[in-house]
Amino acid sequence: MLFSDLRTVVAIAGVMGCLMSIILYALKRTYPKSIKGLGEWAVFPTLSFLASVLYGMQGTWHHLLSMALPNLLLVIAILTYIRGTCKHFEEDSIARFVYPITLGTL
């Protein structure tokens, strides 16, 4: 097997996510303002990458920084992605639940 190290696979996926984040941010700046949600979609891979980096520090950093914080970051990332999708389709029915879910996760 070429990639037998799980940390290498996670690192490659994280770097690819950061590149996608850069592309989405560039699209946000160049596309018309009528296309909504691109900013939230650009934040999603960045937060996921930060969470994966913090997960990689398990065993060397404190448990709150290497387990609890990445879990919270992933929940925030997923809710940001959902919020961006709601903005894109101009649907506000789920947007009011974003903050209570984040507070409950914390």
Q: Which residues of 18-38 are buried (b: 16+ CB within 10 A; e: fewer)?
A: eebbeebbeebeeeeeeebbb
3-state secondary structure at position 65: helix
Question: Who contacts 60 (Cβ-Cβ below 8 Å, separation ≥6)?
Answer: 66
Instruction: Compute the distance between CA of residue 90 and CA of residue 104 in angstroms, rounded to an integer.
Output: 25
For residue 103, what pLDDT band results from cuts at 50, 70 and 90?
A: confident
| Ordered alpha helix ranges (H), 1-106 | 6-30, 38-56, 63, 69-88, 98-105
Q: Give pLDDT, residue 41.
A: 92
Q: Give pLDDT, residue 43.
A: 93
The string of pLDDT tens digits covering residues 32-82 is 988 898 999 999 999 999 998 888 888 888 877 888 899 889 988 988 888
The string of pLDDT tens digits covering residues 88-98 is 888 876 767 77
Q: Give pLDDT, residue 2.
A: 62
Q: Give pLDDT, residue 3.
A: 56
Prediction pTM value = 0.79
